[in-house]
């Protein structure tokens, strides 16, 4: 009896489909290998600047592809508002007393993914490298809104020691925001003032939280 059982078992083994791995098989017409696909998802953030579309004229935001990331040029400016500059201008109400404001709109677009907490997300700006002379400084729209400023009074000096929040908390990923930035030219004279080409750097920071 045991001998017949063994013969039967051997017969079954011989007739059955033999699969040697998931990639090969014999005595059949189908085979099914598997592929395990793995990935590690990372949170991602992106903040881009672009030329505005809200004001009458716009200073171009140019992506450099290097450092700094973007540039904007207000052109030739003066404290009396004589020069037109490259975009918009508020001349001083009291020449020789008030500042002249040369300004432009711009767009800032935050994008972020795979963040579970986003309601406290903010965008800040700070002058991280100031002008080398005392008679010019960076200004921003005081309202932090897309409303086009109506006068020089709508602008505030952009902070140099800490960051100013210009959007949020609670910005939407992928939605461009219109903001306004400019330079105030002071009617100062003396040893610390300067003329000629001057530049400063503003650092924008997106924090998703």
Q: Binding residues for other proteins, per CB under 8 A?
A: 18, 20-44, 46, 111-116, 118, 173-174, 208
Which residue number, 123 or 152, has a Cβ lying nearer to other proteins?
123
Which residue number, 38 or 195, has a Cβ lying nearer to other proteins?
38
Which residue number, 24 or 192, has a Cβ lying nearer to other proteins?
24
CA dist 16 and 99 (Å) reads 93
Give how far Cα 8 sits from Cα of 15, 73, 194, Å: 11, 91, 103
CB of 202 to other proteins, least distance (A): 23
Which residue number, 43 or 93, has a Cβ lying nearer to other proteins?
43
Question: What's the DSSP call for residue 180?
Answer: E
CB of 111 to other proteins, least distance (A): 6
CB of 70 to other proteins, least distance (A): 18
CB of 169 to other proteins, least distance (A): 14
Which residue number, 25 or 200, has a Cβ lying nearer to other proteins?
25
CB of 45 to other proteins, least distance (A): 8
Contacts of 171 (CB under 8 A, 6+ apart): 110, 121, 122, 123, 177
Answer for the pair 42, 112: CB distance below 8 angstroms, yes or no.
no
Strand ranges across the sheet with 201-207: 164-167, 122-129, 201-207
CA dist 123 and 109 (Å) reads 10
């Amino acid at each position: 009896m045991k001998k017949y059982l063994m013969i039967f078992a051997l017969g079954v083994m011989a007739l059955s489909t033999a699969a040697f791995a998931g990639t090969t098989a014999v005595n059949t017409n189908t085979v099914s290998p598997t592929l395990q696909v793995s990935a590690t998802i990372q949170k991602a953030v992106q903040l881009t600047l672009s030329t505005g579309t809200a004001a009458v004229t716009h200073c171009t935001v140019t992506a450099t592809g290097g450092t700094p990331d973007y540039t904007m040029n207000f052109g030739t400016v003066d404290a009396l508002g004589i020069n037109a500059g490259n975009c918009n201008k508020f001349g001083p109400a009291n020449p020789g007393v008030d500042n002249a404001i040369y300004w432009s709109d711009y767009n800032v677009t935050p994008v972020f993914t795979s963040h579970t907490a986003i309601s406290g997300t903010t965008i800040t700006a700070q002058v991280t490298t100031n002008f080398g002379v005392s008679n010019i400084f960076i200004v921003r729209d005081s309202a932090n809104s897309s409303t086009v400023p109506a006068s020089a009074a709508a602008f505030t000096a952009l902070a140099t020691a800490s960051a100013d929040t210009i959007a949020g908390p609670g910005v939407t990923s992928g939605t461009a925001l219109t903001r306004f930035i400019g330079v105030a030219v002071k009617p100062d004279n003396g040893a610390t003032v300067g003329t000629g080409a001057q530049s400063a750097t503003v650092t924008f920071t997106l924090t998703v939280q």
